[in-house]
Chain A
């Protein structure tokens, strides 16, 4: 039969705005989290990561927030630019011998309008 595709959440912002992309993760044992950006025709590109012993980590124009109580992760992008338009994925890892196994969220499509 015909497969149904994932309906990815979308976020549309104006250039210069701040963007917030949210992600709910499933495994309470996960201790490492990563945000990836994927542009059309390319593999996922690492943006920022955070370990479970932290609740906030900042990079260049990006901040990741981790709330382990409600198993929620967010990515904040400051002064969003058209080049930030892509699909953004959160990924979790349970650690230990599972470090090579990432579980990905469904993704969010970010569109930045000039």
Chain B
């Protein structure tokens, strides 16, 4: 069974731009969660989608948004990029009801 895939793997943007990251969950997984990982703050939860609905949200500004499609694929968008948005963005998928989350390799975003 294929794992969680994320595209692109690397991205370089400049301040003020916006970016869209994509995540394809493991087949059959309907929950997709997004995390931001930085050296300063560690791994922080962004949001979770289940059946195309945002079910949980972390403490990030409204510039961070996401969505989920009917095939469970998910995208996250960051608008008006800031230098501090440079991070590894990780996506994880799971079947519902408290099973483990399986992580993708992440998208490394660098904001210049």
| A residues whose Cβ falls under 8 Å from a Cβ of B | 3-6, 32, 34, 36, 41-46, 49, 89, 91, 93, 95, 97-107
Whether a CB of chain A sits under 8 angstroms from the CB of B101 is yes
Q: Say yes or no: A6 contacts B41, CB within 8 Å.
A: yes
Give chain B's interface residue range (CB within 8 Å of chain A). 20 to 34
| Contact between chains at A46 and B100 (CB < 8 Å) | yes
Closest to B94 in A: A100
B49 to chain A, nearest CB (A): 8
Which B positions have Cβ atoms within 8 angstroms of A? 4, 31-33, 35, 39-45, 48-50, 55-56, 58, 84, 90, 92, 94, 96-98, 100-106
**A42: B residues at CB distance < 8 A:** 105-106
Provide the bound-state CA to CA distance between A101 and B96, in Å: 12
The B interface, classified by DSSP as helix, strand, loop or mixed, is strand
A93 touches B104 (CB 8 A): no
Q: Which residues of B contact A49 (CB under 8 A)?
A: 100
Chain A residues with CB under 8 Å of B49's CB are 100
Measured in the bound complex, the distance between the Cα atoms of B102 and A45 in whole Å is 7
User: 14 more A-B contacts (CB under 8 A) besides A44-B103, A45-B103, A102-B33?
Assistant: A3-B84, A43-B92, A43-B106, A44-B90, A49-B100, A89-B43, A99-B97, A100-B48, A100-B56, A101-B48, A103-B45, A104-B42, A107-B42, A107-B43
